[in-house]
Amino acid sequence: MALTDTTGSHRVARLRRRARSVGGLALSLALTLLGLLLVTFIIGRVMPIDPVLKVVGERATQAQYDAAYQAMGLDRPLWEQFLRYMGDVLRGDFGRSISTGHPVIDDLRRVFPATVELASLGTLIGVFVGVPLGVIAAARRGGWLDQIARVVALVGYSMPIFWLGLMGLLLFYGILGWVGGPGRQGIIYDGMVPPVTGMILVDSLIAGDWGSFRDAFSHIILPASLLGYFSLAYISRMTRSFMLEQLSAEYITTARVKGLSERRVIWGHAFRNILVPLITVIALSFGSLLEGSVLTEIVFSWPGIGQYITKALLSGDMNAVLGGTVLIGTCFVGLNLLSDILYRLLDPRAK
């Protein structure tokens, strides 16, 4: 009977700890999103752009201006404007884009999959090349491969991406003709694949249209490789740093003394222990490609969210700018949450 009571009390205590953990995570997520909305709201108010003039035009009368000013709620106290803004955002209402004339949420649904597709392929390239390169460089510290990895990372951080994009288009598209040109697809295949996910590679596979798939792949491979190179530089450098720390630990020396093969020591012991911090690095790299692919999208005329926000900012379309900013910020919050969940799955100590 006493054993049953003890088991029950342990179970209740475990449930309480999990409830506190979930509650703390939910509170942190809510506060982060609240801070994100507050920052975007302040940005919308301090920008030297009059949103009323963008709606009514510069030739509007004072009466028309005042009517639009009141209709947009700008005559109300700031706290009331923020609560209204927060309620609209939570309902997915970012207002109407002045540039396109469509609701901003519809524009984001149209352009965001293009950026996700580009950033995802770039991240995959960075992970599948950068992680092994960083591990091998750390295992052979000071060797020629380590020197190459460090040069690759240094060049990746130093070279302007727009210059690499222009040179890549000139060489691989203009001279060699190995890849497709700017845009997501050629004119012949444009609009042939029924949109399901908004990502042309995925949609063409769903439709079984191999011609569209090959054409889309020829257009995405060059910009994705450039983004992948910058992701590779960051991931390989961080992987090398994590591995060097683990390879100098005492348990690695013990494993080698026991006669374990070098491959098992590196991949079975050291690499397993860097998975948790490496997840954060990959998640941050993916988030950086989502919001940092603006120059790439402009150079390659890629109709993604970076190009959308840039055009909106140049035309003073603050609804579109703030909508895109909130979406990117929410993605960062979601990636951090996913990293935290994976921590708990991969590392029992995090529980």
**pLDDT for res 222:** 92
* Dihedral sign, Cα of residue 237, residue 238, residue 243, residue 245: positive
**pLDDT for res 127:** 93
* Dihedral sign, Cα of residue 247, residue 251, residue 255, residue 257: positive
Largest pairwise CA distance in the chain? 86
Distance CA 24, CA 26 (A): 5
219-222's contacts with Cβ under 8 Å and 24+ in sequence apart are 219/179, 219/180, 219/181, 219/182, 219/183, 219/184, 219/185, 219/186, 220/117, 220/118, 220/121, 220/184, 221/121, 221/179, 222/165, 222/168, 222/169, 222/172, 222/173, 222/179, 222/180, 222/300
Q: What is the CATH number of domain 104-350?
A: 1.10.3720.10
Token reading at 149: 């990895």
Distance CA 136, CA 113 (A): 34
Contact between 126 and 281 under an 8 Å Cβ cutoff? The reply is no
Q: Which residues of 224-242 are buried (b: 16+ CB within 10 A; e: fewer)?
A: bbbbbbbbbbbbbbbbbeb
Distance CA 110, CA 195 (A): 10
Token reading at 176: 């060699």
DSSP state of 179: S
Q: How much is the CA Rg of the chain, to the nearest whole Å?
A: 25
Distance CA 76, CA 78 (A): 6
**pLDDT for res 46:** 73
Alpha carbon of 248 to those of 13, 253, 256, 266: distances in Å? 38, 8, 12, 11
- 10-residue block means of pLDDT along the chain (351 residues)? 57 67 70 81 74 72 77 77 83 82 89 92 92 89 83 79 86 88 84 86 90 91 90 89 88 82 84 86 86 81 88 82 86 81 67 53
